[in-house]
Amino acid sequence: MTARLRDYAVYGALRGAIGALRLMSFARAARVGGAVARLAYRPLGIRRRVVESQIALAFPAWDRAEVVRVARAAYEHLGRTTVETALVPSLTREEVLALVDNADDWSHLEAARVASGGRGLVLITGHLGNWELAATYLAARGLPMDVIARRMANPLFDRYLTRSRERAGLTVLTDAEAVRRVPRSVRDGRGVGFVADQGVKGMASTFVPFFGRWAKTPRGPAVFALRLGVPALFVTLVRGPSGLFRLVVEPIAVEETGDRERDVDVVVARYTAVLERWVRQYPEQYFWHHRRWRRQPTEAEIERAERIARLK
């Protein structure tokens, strides 16, 4: 009963905050989100040690001042992204499209759709830029989109988030449904989006290099791309100085050698390497709040991971 009351209290507070933000312009609401999130860094210090330590591990050559600068900016970016995600369902298609001022990479998506022969695409992203808005943008451009999502602990907010994504033009598939529904979505010519940079307990994963350290990484996107024989692409939106976004699309090589386990591991390593390269360009826009390297491999897993690293 206490948990249920807490769920209602948290849900009510979130809905109230979203309602207040809707009274502002989209850009101003995003700035408010960034300002509030900066308070979580200092003075509140919520996960500050985690964020700073992970940035320092990823960029060992940086001095303390640079680590602090990027950490503070990462909090602000997360606040802006959270607010933008909450408000996107209230935007028109034209307003969503207007948030992106550089979509040159769209040609990679078009080429992949031709290569797929009318079937769908496996679209892979990480917690970089505004990954939620990226899926909405693709749908607004005419690509039918499914997104794989994990259930939220708060069932009220989970239902609200699902409805919001659906209003934004997305079809939500839970990770428990993926095995059954992704093949159907691909047959129907849909893009299926995976966020693939968090090794969650119980999820099939592979240890691959990420900023020079082993990181447990989901295998699902690689498995589906190989099993279904469709193109895989890394996709996200990164924020520019103006506040508008650039569409990032990069094809991921998917090759079959007859050894499915090896092939899956190589594809996982490849899309993780692509993510790392983009994080190096936009470190302030990455979700450093997640303990990316918390789980480390056994000796046997290290041997396998080293083989993967040589193959990719």
Per residue in 107-148, pLDDT tens? Answer: 999 999 999 999 999 999 999 999 999 999 999 999 999 999
Residue 5: pLDDT band by 50, 70, 90 thresholds?
A: confident
Cβ distance 196 to 271 under 8 Å? yes
Q: What is the pLDDT of residues 152-163, one digit of tens each?
A: 888 888 898 999
- Report, as an integer, the average pLDDT of 61-70: 98
Q: What is the pLDDT of residues 95-106, one digit of tens each?
A: 999 999 999 999
Alpha carbons 288 and 69: distance in angstroms, whole number: 13
Amino acid, single-letter form, for residue 287:
F
- Report, as an integer, the average pLDDT of 196-207: 83
Q: Give the closest residue to 175 by CA, choosing from 201, 154, 200, 151.
A: 151
Cβ distance 285 to 74 under 8 Å? yes
pLDDT at residue 2 greater than cutoff 60: no
- The proportion of the chain whose per-residue pLDDT surpasses 70, expressed as a percent, equals 98
Q: What is the pLDDT of residues 165-176, one digit of tens each?
A: 999 999 999 988
Exposed / middle / buried, residue 47 (Cβ in 10 Å: 0-12, 13-18, 19+)? middle
Cβ distance 193 to 135 under 8 Å? yes
Residue spans per domain, the chain: 93-311
Query: What are the start-end ranges of the H helices in the chain?
Result: 2-21, 26-41, 48-58, 64-87, 93-98, 106-115, 131-140, 155-167, 178-187, 220-228, 260-281, 299-311
pLDDT at 203: 75
Mean pLDDT computed over every residue of the chain: 93
